[in-house]
Every structure is written in structure tokens, then in C-alpha cells.
Amino acid sequence: MKFINLFRDTRPLDWLVLILVTTVSVASLFVARATSAKASDLVTVEVKGKIVYRLSLSKDTEVDVKGPLGITHVVIKDRRVRVTQSPCPEKICVRQGWISRGAIVCVPNRVVVTVGTEIADRSVDAITG
């Protein structure tokens, strides 16, 4: 199979699409950077949108949170956070490994672990918009 020949089968619009989707992806990177709050020690663990733990990144600890599928095990160690056990089928949260900023999201068990987002207690209600 002559691989190079396939490029003759592409059309100008293909490359426009490639440029467009790349632009949107890069833009999303900047938007994500801009919206992620300033660095802080706060680690929040949410289940179904409700904050169940507010922890400090500088204090090593381990917590279990109960989601719809079962127990998700969250570990804080050496100023990093990770999910070590989860009952979800895909284990994306576990495979994400250690993070020191950003978020670990487990969609099936509805668990969200965030690092460094210093926002007022959201357990009251969801902010819409």
C-alpha cells in the first residue's frame, strides 16, 4: 500500500477541518488555564455535586467516598492526589494517577476531586449559567 498516495485522496476542506479542530482544542487549553483558580492547598472531593470532603494538600491522608456504584478511595500524599480504587468499569480516574492541580473526574461513580479551586462552599446549591 502506497501510503503517500492517500494524500492525493484528501480534499482542501479536510485540511481546513484539521486547522479548525486544532484551533478549538488549543483555545480550550487557554480557556481551561484561565478558568482554573489560583494555586491553593484546598482539595475538595465531591459526590453527585455535593462536597463531602475539604482537605489540605499538605496533609497526607486517605479517604473513602461513597458514590452510586460503591466506594472510591482517594489518597493525598506528598502534595499530590490520586484515586487508588474505584468501582467504575473504565477506571479512567485510577489511571489518571497523581495530580497536583486540576481535577480527577469519575463519571460513573459521580466523584470529582479538584485541587486548588478556592470557591465558596458549593454544597448549598449548584451555580447555573
* Residue type for position 63: V
Residues that bind another protein (CB under 8 A): 1, 5-6, 9-18, 21-22, 24-26, 28-29, 31-32, 35-37, 46, 49, 89-93, 95-96, 102-103, 105, 107-108, 110, 112, 114, 117, 126
Q: Which is nearer to another protein, 72 or 114 (CB)?
A: 114
Cβ-proximal residues to 83 (8 Å cutoff; 6+ apart), any chain: 72, 73, 74, 75, 93, 94, 96, 104, 106, 111, 113
Dihedral of alpha carbons 30, 92, 57, 111, sign? positive
Q: Which is nearer to another protein, 40 or 60 (CB)?
A: 40
Q: Which is nearer to another protein, 39 or 60 (CB)?
A: 39
- Report the nearest approach of another protein to the CB of residue 26 (Å): 8
